[in-house]
Every structure is written in C-alpha cells, then in structure tokens.
C-alpha cells in the first residue's frame, strides 16, 4: 500500500487518526504498532513475519550488547545476520546471475530460487542496524520494551521508503510526545503538499518517461531524449521527496518529528553539495555508520578517496541489485573524489557559481539515466543518441502537450526559484493579516482535490522507491 491510494486516504488514515486520538495515552503506541503491521501486511502479508523477526532479532542483540559490553564479535554477528537477511532477499538472484558463469568450470551452480523483494527491507534493516550500533557505542540504552522497538522499526509513515530514522533521534519521542493543533495542522499541509508532488507532477512525468524508455534510443529524437532525461530527473525528485513530505507530515500528526530528507538538491553547486541535499537520511547514515568508522578523512588523502568510493559503491548497491545501480554509485563516487582532488576549489569560487550549478545539474542528470535504465547498454545507448544527430520516429510532439509543458514549468520553478522566494519573503507575507492563512488552506485543499481527482480517473500510480 502507498499513501497515494484512495483506500489509504479515505478509509485507513481517517480510521487510525480517529482511533489514535480517542484512545488513552498508554494505548497509543500499541495502536500505532498494530496499525503499522496491518499497513505492511496489506501489501506484503507473507513478509510481515520477516519484518517482525528482524525486529526481535535486533531487539535481542541490543539487550545482549548492553549486558555483555563492547564485544566486537557480538556486533559483528548482528551486522552479519542482518546483511545476510538483506542479501538473500535483495541480492541472491543478482549474485547467482554473476557467479554462475564463473562457477561453471567447477561444475557448481547456485540454484535458481524465486525470491521476491520484501517492500522496504533496505530501510528497516538500516534502521535496525543503527539501533544496535548506537547501543554498542553507548549513545543510547537498549530498549526494554519490545513493543516500543517494534514501533520504532515498523512505524508506517517511514516504513516503506524512509526517511531512515536513527534510534537516537527518535528514542525520546517514542516514550514521550505531544500533539499540538499547530503541529497537526502543519502535518496535514505537509502531507497534502507531498501528495500533490507525487500525484500531480511525478505520475504525469512517469507516463512519458516509461513510454520513451520502451523504445530503442535510436528511434527517439535528440530533443525527446534530452526532455525525457529532464523529466525523469524531475520525476524521481518529486516522487521520492513527495513521499518523504507525506511521511514527515504523517509523523507530525502523531507527534513525531522526522529529519528533513531533501533540501532543494537541484540547487546544488557540486556533487558533494548535491549529496548534502539529496536523501539526507541515507547520506547521514552512511557517513555515521560506514564512512567515519572506515577512517573518514583522518587517515591520509589516498585512504579518504578509497573510503569515499567505498561509500558510494555501497550506496549504489543499496539502491538495487543490478549493474546500473553499481555504476551509478561508482559514477557519483568518481565526481566526489574529483571534487576532493581539485575541482571543488574552483566550484566554490563565487565567479564560477553559475557554471558550478550547471555542472552539478548536468552530472546528476546523466547519472539518473543509469539509475533508470534497465541495462548498462541501454543507458549508454540513451546517452550516445542524446549527443549524436540521427533520424527518429519518436518525436517530441507525440507526448508533449500543453498540460505537460505547464507541469514541466511548474516543476522547474518548484525545484528552486519558488521555495527560495518563499523563504526570503515568508516573514513579510505572513505578517500582513490572517487572510493569508485562509488563502493557503484554500490552496492546499485545491491540491488535495486535484490529486484525488487524478487518482480516481487514472490507475497509473507507480512509486520508484517501492523496489528498495
């Protein structure tokens, strides 16, 4: 189940909100836990047991680590079991595909197993690991109540696609939180805003992108290939940031505060800057639990470059079991190392700022082609024909209409200019009178109405990060 579904918007969400607010405080966590498990089981009834097992496994390791102290073998065992669990369900088929040709000479072959990827396994596995590591480091005590641990991992707003919530950021909120009218109001508006980004913009762009990628790149005009690359760059941003907005909004409705996951990433002036603004919860997780433990930048220049490339290789692998994701991770690692070497000094100069922005957007746009493509070959073919003049049968006029051009313009403005203007003038605008508040609610209701209208009339509602 996704948040942008009619059954969730009109049935499940009102029910859980009503039940939560009429229940006494001692029952609230239990109600959220039961509903979260129901929410997950709706789409993955078989794998809810797997998630419960993961929760109990890491709950047990947390208690053991606290009891026996800093035993490296105990932490290593916990990490190994979690990664084996993730590896089997997410990477087994890919590993079999890669290794079987190499093992053929030894008359050995990994058996073909039909393994279905459990929804959200990458997200809840990382959350569980961060909890045990934090206990090992002494940054927080082990959770004594297994139901609270279950809520931390399974809480439905961030269960499917994040943001990745570290335990030390939310520990206090599990035990003690309050919901104010202001916070609830903010949560509702944030949810509607995210829903609009997902349904109105991301879904609209997705239809065109999926249609174009079904063709051979040679059959698509240069202009359409460039436009498709731009549309996918916007699609993945509004899809994922929209989901994060909805998750943050839902959390606020129940008194939880999650970290921001996006800060206008397409305003970046370098690839390093981009990763400080894109999927922030994942970037901070890798920094805190991989990059720094590897030595960060404290063990010399060469080791720093190796650590950076390792992190981005793992980032690519985390996103998916395929060469396209691995290449995408290595690709971003290359530009991060390049900027560390010398390029970053130039990009930081004020006189190069416009060029720095163009450079960052271009590198990211090309990278997204590898992320979207089914194969490495398809990605390179797509890029080749973006730069090579050729005759084509799929022209821009086939898909581009007035509505799409209007949505494209709105999306480009929403990626930077409009939020920048709002942050700069928000104080002055809101200080005028209360009519602004009324007008803003009318705007949010219009977004909600239009989003629901699109959902009712269109069954096309993909979600990119569902597969992670």
Token pair of 428 as six digits: 């002055």
Q: Which of 319, 332, 357, 390 is catalytic?
A: 319
Q: List, in sequence order, every beta strand (DSSP E) within 51-91.
A: none
Can you tell me the distance from the alpha carbon of 222 to that of 227, in angstroms, rounded to the nearest whole number? 9
Q: Could you give the CA distance from residue 172 to residue 311 in angstroms, rounded to a whole number?
A: 30
Q: Give CA–CA dist 195/241, Å, rounded.
A: 10
- Provide the token pair at 163: 């943001």
Gap between the Cα atoms of 180 and 162, Å rounded: 24
3 with 250: CB under 8 angstroms?
Answer: yes
Contacts of 76 (CB under 8 A, 6+ apart): none
Q: What share of the chain is helix, strand, coil (3-state, %, to 5)?
A: 75, 0, 25
Closest CA to 330 of 347, 348, 306: 306
Contact (CB, 8 A) for 233 and 365:
yes
Record the tokens describing residue 291, joined without a space.
């990059």
Backbone φ and ψ for 108, nearest 5 degrees, come out as -120, 140
Cα–Cα distance measured from residue 63 to residue 370, given in angstroms and rounded to the nearest whole number: 42
In this structure, the dihedral spanned by the alpha carbons of residues 227, 196, 263 and 235, taken in order and rounded to 10 degrees, is -20
- Give the three-class secondary structure for 340: helix
Nearest to 294 by CA among 283, 309, 276: 309
319 is catalytic: yes
Planar angle of CA 198, 127, 246, nearest 5 degrees: 20
Measure Cα distances from 267 to 29, 303, 412 in Å: 39, 30, 11
Q: CA torsion sign, 449 to 5 to 404 to 279?
A: positive
334-368 core/surface letters (b: 16 or more CB in 10 A; e: else): ebbbebbeebbeebeeeeeeeebbebbbebbbbbb
How far is residue 154 from each of residues 163, 280, 307, measured CA to CA in Å?
13, 20, 31
Check: CB of residue 375 under 8 Å from CB of residue 323: yes
Phi, psi of 279 (to 5 degrees): 40, 60
130 near 13, Cβ under 8 Å? no
C-alpha–C-alpha distance, residues 365 and 234, integer Å = 10
- Residue for token pair 């606020």: 252
> Which residues are known to be catalytic?
319
């Amino acid at each position: 189940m996704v948040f942008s579904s009619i059954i969730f918007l009109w049935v499940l969400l009102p029910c859980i909100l009503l039940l939560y607010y009429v229940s006494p405080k001692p029952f609230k966590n239990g109600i959220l836990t039961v509903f979260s498990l129901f929410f997950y089981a709706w789409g993955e009834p078989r794998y809810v047991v797997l998630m419960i097992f993961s929760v109990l496994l890491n709950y047990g390791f947390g208690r053991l680590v606290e009891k026996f102290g800093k035993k490296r073998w105990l932490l290593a065992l916990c990490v190994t079991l979690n990664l084996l669990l993730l590896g089997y369900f997410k990477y087994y088929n890919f590993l079999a595909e890669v290794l079987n040709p190499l093992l053929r000479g030894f008359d050995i072959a990994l058996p073909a197993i039909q393994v279905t990827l459990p929804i959200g396994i990458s997200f809840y596995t990382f959350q569980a690991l961060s909890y045990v590591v934090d206990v090992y480091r002494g940054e927080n005590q082990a959770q004594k109540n297994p139901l609270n641990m279950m809520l931390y991992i399974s809480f439905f707003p961030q269960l499917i696609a994040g943001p990745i919530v570290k335990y030390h950021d939310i520990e206090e909120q599990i035990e003690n939180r309050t919901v104010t009218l202001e916070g609830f109001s903010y949560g509702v508006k944030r949810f509607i805003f995210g829903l609009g980004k997902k349904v109105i913009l991301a879904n609209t762009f997705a239809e065109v992108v999926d249609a174009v990628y079904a063709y051979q790149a040679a059959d698509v005009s240069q202009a359409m290939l460039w436009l498709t690359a731009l549309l996918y760059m916007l699609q993945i941003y509004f899809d994922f940031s929209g989901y994060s907005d909805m998750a943050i909004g839902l959390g606020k409705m129940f008194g939880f505060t999650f970290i921001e996951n996006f800060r206008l990433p397409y305003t970046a002036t370098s690839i390093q800057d981009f990763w400080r603004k894109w999927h922030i919860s994942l970037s901070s997780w890798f920094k805190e639990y991989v990059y720094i433990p590897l030595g960060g930048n404290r063990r010399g220049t060469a080791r720093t470059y190796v650590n950076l490339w390792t992190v981005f290789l793992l980032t690519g692998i985390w996103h998916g079991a395929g060469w396209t994701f691995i290449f995408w991770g290595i690709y971003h690692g290359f530009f991060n190392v390049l900027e560390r070497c010398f390029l970053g000094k130039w990009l930081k100069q004020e006189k190069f700022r416009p060029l720095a922005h163009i450079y960052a957007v271009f590198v990211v746009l090309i990278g997204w082609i590898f992320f979207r493509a089914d194969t490495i070959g398809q990605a390179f073919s797509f890029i080749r024909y973006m730069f090579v003049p050729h005759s084509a049968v799929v022209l821009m006029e086939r898909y581009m209409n007035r509505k799409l051009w209007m949505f494209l313009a709105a999306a480009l403005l929403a990626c930077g200019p409009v939020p920048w203007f709002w942050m700069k003038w928000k104080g002055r605008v809101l200080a005028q009178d209360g009519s602004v508040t009324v007008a803003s609610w009318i705007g949010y209701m219009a977004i909600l109405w239009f989003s629901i209208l699109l959902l009712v009339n269109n069954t096309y509602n993909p979600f990119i990060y569902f597969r992670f």
